[in-house]
Amino acid sequence: MAAALNAVDTTTPPGKVDRVDRVGMVGLGVMGAGIAGCLLRKGFALHVHNRSAAKLASLLALGAQAGGLAELGRHSRVVVLSLPDTAAVEAVLFGADGLASTLAPGSCVIDTSTIAAAATRQFAQQLAAAGITLLDAPVSGGQQGAEQGTLVCMVGGERAAFDACAPVFAAFSARAVHLGGPGAGQVTKACNQVAVTGAMLGVAEALALARREGVDPAAVREVLMGGSARSFSLDKHGQRIVDQAFEPGFRAVLMRKDLRLALDNGAARGAYMPLTTLAEQLLDALCEDGRGERDWSVLGALFAERGGA
């Protein structure tokens, strides 16, 4: 990495976090803005940083301070990241004025982004050389969960840092679970996306079949919700498919990215992932025909189209 790290503080035990009341937030997209709002409502002194200044106004009105990345790093002892991909996280950590060179030893970075597990392990090792702990904490629960503080956090990293940061996690999540060392959170998020995708493919195919057979998909969904087919995908995404309401939500291009990460993880370990491979191909088709910015439940429309329904 290009940026020099802080000098190693040999007096800082692994995972030690000095204080958690001074918090920074980097990335104010759909998820990050919700998390930042929760932190402010819980009374944290919050500094925020985002490439687009247009997204700052509502948080400034709630009491946030805004500034450059270096300023945020100097102010904060815990920094929460919500960024789109591995490259963006790497740039914030190790690029110009990155957190690796501005956070003090004894600080912690909580990365709620969904990125590569292998890169997370590398980043954690590099930050540890500067006395900084990285917790990989990808989330589930969507925009509504971020805004309401009801996310589920899947956390990897030093247990001591996880325990110290409990008040921060409590501000924006209903449940935060420590799963193991660095990268364990990202592996768990990959498993989550694989499982959710399997359910979504079944829902999309079932409703397309109903439509093709001339049976009302809304009625089919309602009946299935009362039996063993009931699931989050049938409830939430099934309703989107019935209503043909595909405003995000969670964009198809992001789910494609997540499944590619899962497939990369699986390939490195020799895992057999035929369902995820198929789902990635279908999502790639959606993205290539210009529907990548729509909610990923638009898979339901693709199934109907290809079946002539």
The structure tokens 């919050």 sit at 46
8 A C-beta contact, residue 23 and residue 79: yes
How many C-beta neighbours within 10 Å does residue 172 have?
A: 31
Contact predicate 124/153, CB 8 Å: no
Distance CA 290, CA 294 (A): 9
Q: Which residues are catalytic?
A: 189
